[in-house]
Amino acid sequence: MTDHSSIEYSTINGFFLQSESSTNTAEFDYTNSNFGLIERNYETDEQCPLNSTSWQRFAYYLDDLNRKSPSTVHYRVFFLARHGQGDHNVGEEKYGTAAWDDCWSKLDSADGLSFFDAHLTDLGIQQAKIANKTWMHQLTVEKTPSPEIFYTSPLYRCLQTAETTFKDPELPLQHAFVPRVKELLREQNGIHTCDARSPASTLRAAFPAARFDPDFAETDPLWRSDVRETDAEMVPRLRQALDGIWRGDARSCAWVSVTAHNGAVRAMLRVFGHRAWDLATGGVVVVFVRGEEVGEGSEVVG
């Protein structure tokens, strides 16, 4: 591939409840729905061992798709998670959205709440522990494939959420939990101090297992106190982040975990051509994605 090629993404419907228009987003609970996997037959079922779970049959089908696809096409499953509740979420609920946007969100702290690069509350930690428990069930009972690679926003609450969810010696992950921190996976930038990130040295000290890109700056290069990024501006930023993931460390992976923010997930879903989906704090949406390199220089040697 060359810099002149681009990736065309599309969501493959008919596999997860989250992508179906009939699913009520407000009522859906990922913790008791087998991550949303639809019970169905696959053309590869006869090749699967007897008593395979729904996830094992789907995983075999996905592997078969990738084996048979041209080198420019890949199929991947993204587990997109939102961080647990943070102090800033409490602040917005406490003061109301209008007052939050106009005043309180611009402060570093207030009334015992710390907004700058907000950390998880006790409830937020509990929500991440629920995600951990859900993954334990999925991996051990439903035989859901383990994520092969883990990405996270650089904001503190996302690193906390990812660690609480996956950094557990009892969790039978097939691939080591090494969170890869990506600057572009962050929430809507600007004005709100909760969306400004801590210095790199602070994050490295707090999360020594995390892997940072070589060019990850010590000070926040994106947040501004006087300009708020728009929803429309987020989409190309998240596309750039996803392109980097798709072509980067995840290029040989079919199962990808991303821990980010509601706004960031909404933008990623738009890039994937997925229906709109709002995540509650601690929520997860699973997306079956096809990506194809198109344009000049898109031919890849397999």
Write down the catalytic residue from 92, 163, 183, 187.
Answer: 187
Residue 106 within any structural domain of the chain: no
Q: How is residue 17 annotated by DSSP?
A: G
Which residues, in sequence order, are CB contacts of 190 under 8 Å at separation 6+? 223, 224, 225, 226, 227, 228, 229
CA distance 84 to 284: 11
SS3 269: helix
Please, which residues bridge with residue 109 across strands? Answer: 114
Candidates 83, 88, 119, 274; catalytic one: 83
pLDDT digits (tens, 9 = 90+) for 204-260: 999 999 999 999 999 999 999 999 999 999 999 999 999 999 999 999 999 999 999
Q: Does residue 63 lie in a domain region?
A: yes
93 part of the active site: no
Residue 265 domain boundaries: 6-85+116-294
Is 225 within the bounds of a domain?
A: yes
Asked, for residue 109, whether it belongs to a domain, the answer is no
Residue 101 lies in a domain: no
The enclosing domain of 284 has a CATH number of 3.40.50.1240
Looking at the whole model, is its pTM more than 0.85?
yes
Residue 5's pLDDT is 82
Neighbouring CB atoms inside 10 A of 214's CB total 4
Domain-located, residue 103: no
pLDDT in tens, 59-100: 999 999 999 999 999 999 999 999 999 999 999 999 999 999
What pLDDT was estimated at residue 4? 67
- Please check the confidence at residue 300 and state whether its pLDDT lies above 50: no
Average pLDDT taken over every residue of the chain: 95
- For residue 96, being part of any structural domain is answered with no
Is residue 118's pLDDT more than 60? Answer: yes
Q: Is 187 a catalytic residue?
A: yes
Q: Say how many domains are in the chain.
A: 1
CA distance 167 to 246: 24
Which residues lie closer than 8 Å to 229 by C-beta, 6 or more apart? 188, 189, 190, 237
| Residue 38 belongs to some domain of the structure | yes
